[in-house]
């Protein structure tokens, strides 16, 4: 493996600038993020007017351009702009001015091990004591119930108390998950939160999930993270979903009712360690998602 230090470059005075930032948040676009949970959180955090670039990773080595082609603008007779992908480490501040680090950008397509080693090097050089990640996962849950979370990591005292939805499962890897795994191997503090997004809303922004994950990160880290914009959109999104479902067909409403009943049945049993082990008959993601998408398409046609 090539030296990981060659994969990133610090900005001038970056190490001095980030000396008091001991918490690293990280999220990479391109893997699973139901409800755009991680994307919404990152967008909110990057609103900090005082944020500074600390380091830039070599996206030209890490990103497969043919798999995810960057955007360009053609203006009449010439190319006017090119949106190059960036994987950047930012210094941002919470609501009371406390500094923390945010690493974000497209998920690396290649050189995962070198990338993880490079991030570990940054963590050690900057004295990061805790790395935190977050994203959304599609689940067979209704939007009318509180957003659940699956916490993970090696700092159990920071993860809070949440029902266990999973025992042992094998899933496709992601660069973010592998980074957490390698940092854990190296003895660094790592935690993460996966917000449960109703599977029929997985491909639309769902601020409820972003707020749930943001509040979990805030509770674990002690940071006062901004989230006013996300919270303001929650009621609007909920009302829009309820309206569209009420105007939908009886099959769609029945499917939502079925999810509510099953959710209440399993969530009400406090002595069950693994909720997914219960013999419940939830509508499948394909069935409910297809019904909801068909209705949205029809609704969109009428609006147009």
pTM of the model: 0.87
Structure tokens at 151: 């916490």
Q: Where are the alpha helices (DSSP H) in 57-196?
A: 59-62, 112-126, 175-185
- Write the pLDDT tens digit of every residue in 197-221: 999 999 999 999 999 999 999 999 9
CATH superfamily placement of domain 4-227 = PAC-like subunit (3.40.50.10900)
Is the CB of residue 139 less than 8 Å from the CB of residue 148?
yes
pLDDT of residue 298: 54
**Every domain of the chain and the residues it spans:** 4-227, 235-303
- Between the two ends of the chain, the Cα-to-Cα distance in Å is 54
Nearest to 83 by CA among 109, 105, 53, 103: 105
Q: Are 116 and 179 in contact (CB under 8 A)?
A: yes
C-alpha separations of 102 from 2, 51, 246, 275 in Å: 25, 10, 40, 33
CA distance 127 to 23: 9
Q: Over 90: is that where the pLDDT of 1 sits?
A: no
Averaged pLDDT of the chain: 89
Statement: residue 291 has pLDDT above 60: no
For residues 176-184, average pLDDT? 98
For residue 286, what pLDDT band results from cuts at 50, 70 and 90? low
């Amino acid at each position: 493996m090539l030296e990981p230090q060659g994969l990133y470059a610090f900005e001038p005075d970056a190490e001095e600038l980030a000396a008091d930032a001991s918490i690293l948040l990280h999220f990479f676009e391109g893997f699973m993020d139901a409800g755009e949970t991680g994307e919404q959180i990152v967008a909110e955090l990057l609103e900090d007017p005082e944020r500074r670039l600390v380091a830039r990773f070599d996206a030209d080595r890490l990103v497969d351009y043919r798999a995810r082609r960057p955007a360009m603008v053609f203006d009449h007779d010439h190319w006017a702009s090119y949106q190059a992908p960036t994987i950047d480490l930012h210094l941002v501040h919470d609501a009371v001015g406390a500094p923390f680090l945010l690493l974000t950008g497209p998920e690396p397509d290649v050189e995962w091990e070198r990338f993880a080693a490079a991030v570990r090097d940054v963590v050690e050089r900057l004295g990061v004591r805790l790395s935190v990640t977050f994203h959304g996962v599609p689940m067979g849950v209704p939007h009318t119930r509180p957003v659940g979370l699956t916490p993970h990591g090696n700092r159990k005292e920071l993860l809070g108390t949440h029902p266990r939805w999973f025992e042992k499962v094998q899933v496709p890897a992601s660069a973010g998950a592998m980074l957490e795994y390698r940092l854990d191997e190296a003895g660094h503090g790592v935690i993460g939160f996966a917000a449960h997004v109703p599977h029929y809303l997985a491909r639309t922004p769902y601020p409820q999930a972003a707020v749930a994950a943001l509040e979990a990160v805030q509770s674990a880290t002690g940071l006062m993270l901004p989230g006013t914009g996300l919270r303001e959109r929650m009621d609007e999104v909920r009302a829009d979903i309820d309206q569209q479902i009420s105007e939908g067909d009886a099959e769609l409403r029945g499917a939502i009712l079925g999810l509510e009943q099953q959710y209440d049945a399993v969530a009400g049993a406090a002595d069950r360690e693994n909720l997914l082990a219960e013999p419940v008959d939830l509508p499948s993601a394909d069935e409910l998602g297809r019904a909801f998408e068909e209705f949205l398409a029809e609704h969109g046609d009428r609006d147009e």
